[in-house]
Every structure is written in structure tokens, then in C-alpha cells.
Structure 1
């Protein structure tokens, strides 16, 4: 049986509904999985017009009611929003709904009614306005699944990156980088790649400072104190891990094929190379959770929401990877 992928609608004021409609217009999605939208039926019907789509929206209340037939989009309709919700604007209503869509998908996964979750983008400001003070999807998923050790992994053609820290300021990120955290992320990376079929993955670890500190010339010895002990411990356990290495050349080497994955120390260190390779092909995967979760690697794009210009390729790739990683029935 093809896996059931719950696609959460994300922030209804953004491009999420549009890219979902566009993605579910492709036969390839139905060849890979059984897609189920968790969101709002009225907003999804509005998105048909934005995307100039001839699909049909079918609101359902239980997973068992879904037909999973191309041409009809099955929406587990939580009916949380008004059809005239402003497009392209931060909204407490949309932020709250985005949180509840994800919460419902997690409940379905815990009940084994779905096999994986694929998330359309949410807006952090809207989320916070609604009183959900999380930095993003990753932290919500961790909190609602009682997961302590997790990490964000981004994939693009020829590059995989996993993050030690994510949505915090740079000064705070350096504080949060510890040997224990770096070691745990290396372990998660190794386990994830082996599950994906890479028998002996090669993992490279970025430094924090320019030139990875250059033997203490730059910084205050952060590489020696925070990263080297973790790398050494992982090596002693048989993991093929190298570093800390200068980030400015490491990503080039990884794209060339020298390494299967790069461990980035902070948000922009890892995100920037992925996005240079193409937003349309980037996918965000949360590793360490009891649930398979993938996502687009772009935001709500309020500036083009409602115009039909948003590209569905990142969502299609996220759905594909979710289907590949999902447990087989």
C-alpha cells in the first residue's frame, strides 16, 4: 500500500494552499503516495482560483473517508478559517490555524492513521500572535512528540546539511553549541543516512570561526572546546566523520561528492548553500522524531500569495521524500 502523507496547509494567508493545489495536479504525487490535506476546505477552494486549477476540493472529517483519487483533493477539514481571510498579511487567525493543522496531523500519525507528515510553510510572527511561542515547525513537532534530541536536515541536489542550532541569534547559537549537542547531531546524521541506504556515510563538520579557528588564530578556541571532542568520540565509535573544517571550502567539497552530509553549526551557515542550489528543489526533514516529517525549504511568500506564481516543485520533492522515508504498510 502506498503511504498516506498528511500535507498540512500551513499559514492560509501564504502560498501554502496554492502550492498544494498545484502539486496535487500532478499524477506523479499519486504514483508515490496517498495524499491527504489537513487544513480548511474553504481556503483550499479559494486556492483553486489562484492556481487556475480544475481540481475539485472534497471536505472530509475522517481519514477513512478519503478516496485518494487524482482530480479530487481530499481535505480533512478543520473549518477554522473564514473564506475572506486576507491574503499576504500576518494574521493571528491564520497563525493559530496553522498550529492546529500540524497538531491534528501529529495526532493522526500517533494513531497510525497516516504514515508521514509534509508541511507547507507557516509564518512565525502569525504563530506568535496566536500565542504559540515556538521558533518554527521543528520545535512544535519536538514538543508535541516529547522528543529531546532532534535536528533539522536540509537536502538539495548534491548536498545534505544537518544543523546543530537553528532559529536563534548568532551569539546564542555559539552558546548552545556544546560537545554533547554536536555529538548527538553527528549520531543522528549517521543513523539517518544509514536508514536511507548509505552503508558507510562520510560526514563533515563545519567549524564556527573563519578557517575553523586556524589553530586558535580566530575566535577563542571554540573549535577545540566545543567540536573536536564530539568528532573524536564519534570517530572512536566507528562513524566516518571529519572536522572541524572551514565552512567556506567544505560546502564546495560536499557538492563535489567528497562527503555525504555536512554538519552546520548555525542557521545561515547551513541554509545559505542549500538555497543557492535552488529553492525549488530544497527539502526540510526533521530527524530524530518518532514521525517522518518533511517540508518545503521556503517561507510563506506573502508578496506573491494569491497570484498563482508560487512554484510547487519544492513541495512535490518534499512529498516524494516523505513517501520514501515513510514506514511501509
Structure 2
């Protein structure tokens, strides 16, 4: 039995373009239920600055699911600590940002929401507020009490997951371990089945070194770690191809038949994806007990309040969250 799908959205840094893209997005009709977790005064003030009309509908968890009318937003209100000035970061509002995120997580964990979509945040100002923060991915993993998650970006025709995320390049090799890589591939494989409806996913695996190690002459991580992991998982029936040299993997010959690529580090796979689909890509956190997607861009402080924003990535993030929520619901009904 399918339950109504309701998506929670956190705009992120209030001084950035998060409120702008949410307001712009509200100007189109929506056939699904969207709940924005934010300060209504910030949204109304930004809409006024942009010269756009906006009607706030207070969120009530007991109310029935309704379609989104043009120019309206259903808002679960949380208040900023300090008045927001577009383009000017303020550490005093960091607690508000994290409270919005935490409320979205709680709502997803208790099935109030079907998925969480997050807007852009500014890591530096959060750290300036005295809170150790490396990113959404790590924060959500801790909030969900999840030991390992996988970061994946997707755009039309390409999904790229990462074996390591925000690490200095000098630490990547040491971070790629036998058990860690097995867990990463299992999380990716399971998500492609449950969230994307792919019964037997084909995953391409990048090598770490140039030419995938050249038989050990350009590094031995492939021989010592990556190949043994692939052999073990292939024996369990997973369709894994690799390790392949990253400089020749991202070509139609390979990608046309693949459901996802696993890159070994952040800048190995993401430049290709962003070149292909920047502005139309989505960041997805795999391995959480909840569905989480995000825009693929930053806060763009200089554009806040100007009206010069592109909602392509937000639109993609919301549509992906809906798609994943429907697939996961169907998968669980079958299994």
C-alpha cells in the first residue's frame, strides 16, 4: 500500500541563494507535497527584495497532502537568531541552519517526510561559530547514527559515487581499505536496486593510480586492495567491471552500458560529471536510513537577492528525491 510522498526542503545558508532558489521554485506548479523548513520572515523578505509575490502556508503535520500552487510555499517555521542580510554571513545564525537540518532528519526518520532535499551551506561560517563541520554528508551520517555513507553525484546519463570524499590527496591511498571498499560498493549496489529500480546494476570501478597501476609499476593499491575486493564481490554475483584507468573510463564505450561509476577520490570523478551536467546535477547521500539529495552548487553569496539564480539543480534534486522515494516504497512493498 503506497503512502503519500512528502518532501522536506532546507534552504541552507540564509544569506546565500538558498532562499532565492526556493522562492523561484515556488513560482511553478507542483503535483507533490513540499515542506520548506525555514524562517518564513527570511523567505518573505527575500521575495519582496526580488519583487516576487509569495504566500506562506503554515505547515501542520496533521494536514492532508496537497499540491503546490504557484506562488505558495508550505513552511515549517524555525527562526533565525539574527536578522539576515543577503550576501553577509553571520555565525550567529549557524544554530538555525543546523536546527533546520536536524528537524528534517527527525521528520524523515519518523516517516513524517519521505525524503530530505538540502540547499547550499557555507562550511567556513559554521566552523567560525565553533562547530567542527566538514559537510552535509558527515553531519547527516552522525545525525542518523550511520557508520558509513557514500557520496554520489548524478546527472542525465551519468552517476558517479566516491570511495573517499573530502580528504587531502595525500591521505586517499591510506583511506582505501579492503573492508571500507567492500562496504562502499555494497551500499552503492543496494541503493541502485532499492532507490533506482535497477535489479542487477552494472558498476564501473576506477583504479586509483594512472593506468590503474600498470600492473604494479605505477602503484600497487589495485593489486593489494581493489582487485581482491572486486573478485570477492563478483563471486557473490555483483556485476563489477574494473579496475579501469580513469582517463579512459569516462567514454561512451563504457558509460553507455553502465549504471554507475565508482571513483576512488573526489576530483577523479566529479570534474567529469560537473562538466557534463553542472546546474542540472544532484548530490545524493547513499547508505543513510533516509533519502537525501542536494543541489550541486554553493551559496553564491554575491547573487543573493539579485534574482540571477538558476533553479535547475534544485529541480533535479527534488525530482530525484521523488523518484527515489517512489522506488524505495515499491521495493519495500515487494520485499
TM bucket by the smaller chain? over 0.9
Paired with 1:126 and 1:68, the residues of 2 have a C-alpha distance of: 36
- Give the 3-state SS of the residue equivalent to 2:227 in structure 1: helix
Paired with 1:253 and 1:188, the residues of 2 have a C-alpha distance of: 25
Paired with 2:186 and 2:139, the residues of 1 have a C-alpha distance of: 22
- TM-superposed deviation, 1:48: 1.1
- Give the 3-state SS of the residue equivalent to 2:241 in structure 1: strand
- Give the 3-state SS of the residue equivalent to 2:73 in structure 1: strand
- TM-superposed deviation, 1:58: 3.5
Please point out which of 19, 28, 34 is paired with 2:21: 19
- Give the 3-state SS of the residue equivalent to 1:63 in structure 2: coil
Normalising to structure 2: TM-score of the pair?
0.91
Q: Confirm or deny: 8 A CA contact 1:150 1:288 kept in the other structure.
A: yes
126-135 or 281-290, which moves further after superposition?
Answer: 126-135
310-319 or 254-263, which moves further after superposition?
Answer: 254-263
Gap change, CA 1:192 and 1:328, over 3 Å in 2:
closer
Q: Confirm or deny: 8 A CA contact 1:212 1:244 kept in the other structure.
A: yes
- Give the 3-state SS of the residue equivalent to 1:131 in structure 2: coil
Gap change, CA 1:52 and 1:252, over 3 Å in 2:
farther
2:61 matches 1:63: yes
Per the alignment, residue 267 of structure 1 pairs with 266
- TM-superposed deviation, 1:189: 1.6
Paired with 1:298 and 1:78, the residues of 2 have a C-alpha distance of: 24
User: Deviations along 1:84-137, whole A, 9 cap, x unmatched?
Assistant: x23223321233322111001111122221111000011111121223312111
Paired with 1:255 and 1:54, the residues of 2 have a C-alpha distance of: 48
Per the alignment, residue 202 of structure 2 pairs with 202
Paired with 1:284 and 1:5, the residues of 2 have a C-alpha distance of: 16
Any stretches of 5+ residues in structure 1 without a counterpart?
Answer: none
Gap change, CA 1:229 and 1:92, over 3 Å in 2:
same
Paired with 2:189 and 2:68, the residues of 1 have a C-alpha distance of: 37
99-108 or 65-74, which moves further after superposition?
Answer: 65-74
Gap change, CA 1:176 and 1:57, over 3 Å in 2:
same
Per the alignment, residue 217 of structure 1 pairs with 217
Q: Confirm or deny: 8 A CA contact 1:254 1:260 kept in the other structure.
A: no
- TM-superposed deviation, 1:275: 0.8
Per the alignment, residue 10 of structure 1 pairs with 12
Gap change, CA 1:252 and 1:49, over 3 Å in 2:
farther
Any stretches of 5+ residues in structure 2 without a counterpart?
Answer: 331-335
2:159 matches 1:160: yes
Normalising to structure 1: TM-score of the pair?
0.92
Paired with 2:68 and 2:153, the residues of 1 have a C-alpha distance of: 30
Paired with 1:285 and 1:18, the residues of 2 have a C-alpha distance of: 22
- Give the 3-state SS of the residue equivalent to 1:316 in structure 2: helix
RMSD of Structure 2 on Structure 1 (CA): 1.9
- TM-superposed deviation, 1:74: 1.4
- Give the 3-state SS of the residue equivalent to 2:21 in structure 1: helix
User: Deviations along 1:231-250, whole A, 9 cap, x unmatched?
Assistant: 11111110000111111111
Gap change, CA 1:182 and 1:145, over 3 Å in 2:
same
Paired with 1:254 and 1:179, the residues of 2 have a C-alpha distance of: 29
